[in-house]
Amino acid sequence: MIKIETERLIIREYKESDWEFVHLYGQQGDILIYEVWGPNTEEQTKAFIEKSINERKENPRREFELCVTLKSSLKLIGGCGFRIKKENNKRGDFGFIINPDYWNKGYATEASKGLLDFMIENHGITEIEATCDVFNLASKRVLEKCGLIKIKKIKNDKEIKGRIRDTYHFERTITTLNGLFQN
């Protein structure tokens, strides 16, 4: 079982009872304007939790969907995930989502850094990528704070909720020096 502790957060595996908290923030319009999914039905949210739990059984494990909780109260406030590429075990992409009630407190950056450090240290990840909607300035800042660099802008990348979105593509390469990771 994965448990990542940061200064204010615990990032852990989902459990079945988490679905209600995930469903609660997954219904908020502020959070969904940049997402392909949502608002989800209860069945869809439960299926996501079940899939996240079943990912633990995969060998090798390539998908890590984890929940973000406050260390002080253990309240679930969001999620983050990392997916290792099939064609390159050292490369993967990640994403995050935080309940809007907890925005502007640095939780997305703290959770993302914790997850990335875990993947680098425990799974040998050396290449990281992420994307965000060009209008999602908060996510863009989080990616930059995590050391990712904007590589390109993809025009007319995908349709999300009736709008054709442009996407920023970010990357980060981790190098090693004498066996130690250099960020």
Going residue by residue through the chain (183 aa), what tens digit of pLDDT does each one get? Answer: 999 999 999 999 999 999 999 998 877 776 777 777 767 889 999 999 999 999 999 999 999 999 999 999 999 999 999 999 999 999 999 999 999 899 999 999 999 999 999 999 999 999 999 999 999 999 999 999 999 999 999 999 988 878 898 999 999 999 865 444 445
Q: Copy the structure tokens of residue 25.
A: 């923030």
Q: Which of 151, 154, 149 is nearest to 134 (CA)?
A: 154
If you average pLDDT over every residue of the chain, what do you get? 91
In this structure, are residues 120 and 4 in contact, taking their beta carbons and an 8 Å threshold?
A: no
List the CATH code of the domain at 3-182: 3.40.630.30
Give the CA angle between residues 157, 117, 64 to the nearest 5°: 60
Distance CA 33, CA 61 (A): 30
Give pLDDT tens digits for 43-75.
Answer: 999 999 999 999 999 999 999 999 999 999 999
Distance CA 147, CA 172 (A): 7
Q: Which of 178, 171, 164, 100 is nearest to 134 (CA)?
A: 164
